[in-house]
Structure 1
Amino acid sequence: MIPHARSRLLPAPHGFLGREGGVSGGIYAGLNVGLGSADDLGAVRENRVRAVAGVAPGAALVTLHQVHSADVVTVTGPIPDDVRPPADALVTDRPGLLLGVLTADCAPVLFADEAAGVVGAAHAGWGGALKGVTDATLTAMEALGADRGRIAAAVGPCIARASYEVGEEFVRRFAEDDAENERFFADGVRPGRWQFDLEAYVVHRLASAGVGRVDALGLDTYADERRYFSFRRATHRGEPDYGRQISLIGLP
C-alpha cells in the first residue's frame, strides 16, 4: 500500500500522496511522478503505476502539462502522457478515470459532488490561485451537472506559512487584487519580508466561491522532508532538480 492522506469530506476514491513507496533514488528518492523531472523515466513510470494502484486499481491516470494557469480540461477519456494538455485543473463525470495533479509546494485541491457524480482536481500555486484556478474548476464541474453548494473540496499538502517567505512585490500583487488579501501575510523574521499562507488563501477562494465544505489538511511539504518533495527546499539547498508528488481523485 502506498501511504497517502485522505479527506473526511471526499466520498470518491482519492488520495494525497507523498514521496513514500516509490523506486526513484538520489534527490528523487521515493515516489517521484514528475515526467518533467530529470529522473529516470522508467522509475517515474513505475511510480505512477504504483500511485494509481494505491488509490484506484485499474483506473486510467490523466495528468496535465501544468503551467500555473487558471485553465481547466474536461476529461472524457484517457489522455496519453505525451499529449498532456497545458492546463492546471481537470474535471470529469466518467468512471474509470483517475485525475491527477502534481505538486512540490503548490496546493493540490480535490473536489467532489457525490450526487452529480462529478469530480475535479486543481494545481493551485500562488499564480494559479490568484488567477482563479479553483473558481474555474467549480465552473467546469457545474457544466457537467454539479452544484457548488453540494461540492466538497480538500486542500492537500503544500508549503505552510512558516516556511513560505516572500518579498514586497509578491505581497503587492495580492493587495492589488484585493486589499483584504493582506490578512494572508504575517511579518517575516527579516526586515522587508513576509510569510504567506497559501493554504488559507486557497481555502478563502473556495469559500468565497460558494463551496460550503472545505477541508484543509495542514501538511507542510517544505518542513516534512521524509514525506514530501519540496521545490523551495531543493532550491535552498542548491539541488539541480526536485521530485513531484501526486494527488488523485476518480469516480468509483
Structure 2
Amino acid sequence: MTRRGGVSRGTVSGLNCGYGAEDDPAAVAENRRRAADAVMPGARLVGLYQVHSPDVVTVDNPWSDDDRPEADGFVTAQPGILLGIVTADCAPVLFADREAGVIGAVHAGWRGAHDGVLERTVNAMESLGAGRNRIVAVVGPCIARQSYEVDDGFRKQFAEADAEWFAAGRAGHWQFDLPGYVLSRLSACGVSQAEWIGRDTYTDEASFYSFRRATHRGEADYGRQLSLIGLNGIDPTTV
C-alpha cells in the first residue's frame, strides 16, 4: 500500500496505518479497514507490536490490535487471515509457498535482518509445511542505498563479508543498501526467488511515509504504510 487515500490529516495525512503515530486511533482503524478490504474483503487483519527483533510468531487464530504480540515476523497457513506489516523506511518482506498454502510477513529493519528475522521466518514457514525451495519473497518499499547514510559505528556492526552492501560516502560515512542486504540474506537461507520492487520511501514523498525524511526535516511525527499478504483458500494475495 502507498500513503494515498485514507482519512488521516496533518503531518501523517493519507493512509496512515500505524498506531505508533500521533494520529486519531479511529482514523488509523479506518485506514487499516480500507486497506484490508482492498486486498481481501472479509478477511481478518492481524498485526504485530514491532520492536526490531528477530522474533517470529505463528498465527493460528487472529488477535485484536490491542493484543498484538511483540515480534517482527509472523507466519500462517490459515485462510482468511491477512498479515500486515507497517513500515516507514524499514523493509517489509512478504513470503509465500503457494503449493503448501503457507505465507509469512516480516518487518526487516537493519537490526532485525542482521539478527536473523528473515531466516527464522523461513524456518517457521517450514514448520507449517512450506519448502524453502518453493518459497517466493518480495521486498516492498523501503529506504534505498542513495538515501541511507550511516556512520562508521554502524558499519562496524557488520562482517567484512557484508562489505558489498556499503558504498563509501563522505568522510566517516557510508551508503547502506538495505534491500540488497535483505535479498542477500534470503538467498543465503535458500529462498531463490526474491526481488525488491525498487521503490525508495525517502525520495517518493507522494507515495510513502519516511522516518528518515521526517527526521531530517525536523517534523514531529511520521506515518506508516502497510504491506499485506493473505490466503484466500490456498492462493496468496499481496499488496
Please report the TM-score for the alignment, with normalisation by the length of structure 1.
Answer: 0.91
Displacement of 1:72:
0.5
Query: In structure 2, the residue corresponding to 1:173 is in which secondary structure?
Result: coil
Number of aligned residues = 232
Match of 1:98 in 2: 82
What is the CA deviation profile of residues 48-89 of structure 1, one whole-angstrom value per residue up to 9, with x for unaligned ones? 001001111110000000000010110011111111000001
Match of 1:135 in 2: 119
Q: Which amino acid aligns with 1:161?
A: R
In 2: Cα distance, 1:71 partner to 1:130 partner: 12
Please report the TM-score for the alignment, with normalisation by the length of structure 2.
Answer: 0.96
Detail structure 1 runs of 4+ shifted over 3 Å in the superposition. none
1:183 aligns with 2:183: no
1:247 aligns with 2:227: yes
Q: Which amino acid aligns with 2:165?
A: F
In 2: Cα distance, 1:132 partner to 1:56 partner: 30
Match of 1:43 in 2: 27
1:232 aligns with 2:212: yes
Q: Which amino acid aligns with 2:161?
A: E
In 2: Cα distance, 1:77 partner to 1:248 partner: 17
In 2: Cα distance, 1:88 partner to 1:125 partner: 9
What is the CA deviation profile of residues 201-246 of structure 1, one whole-angstrom value per residue up to 9, with x for unaligned ones? 0000000000111121111000000000000000011111110001
In 2: Cα distance, 1:166 partner to 1:245 partner: 23
Q: Which amino acid aligns with 2:105?
A: A
CA RMSD of aligned residues (A): 0.6
What is the CA deviation profile of residues 90-138 of structure 1, one whole-angstrom value per residue up to 9, with x for unaligned ones? 1000000000111000000000000100000000000000001110000
Alignment match of 2:147 (pick from 137, 153, 163): 163
In 1: Cα distance, 2:195 partner to 2:100 partner: 20
Q: Which amino acid aligns with 1:217?
A: I
1:52 aligns with 2:32: no
Structure 1 residues 1-252: aligned runs within 5 Å: 17-175=1-159, 179-188=160-169, 190-252=170-232
Q: Which amino acid aligns with 2:70?
A: P
Match of 1:10 in 2: none
Q: Which amino acid aligns with 2:175?
A: Q
Identity of matched residues, %: 61
Q: Which amino acid aligns with 1:137?
A: T
In 2: Cα distance, 1:25 partner to 1:81 partner: 21
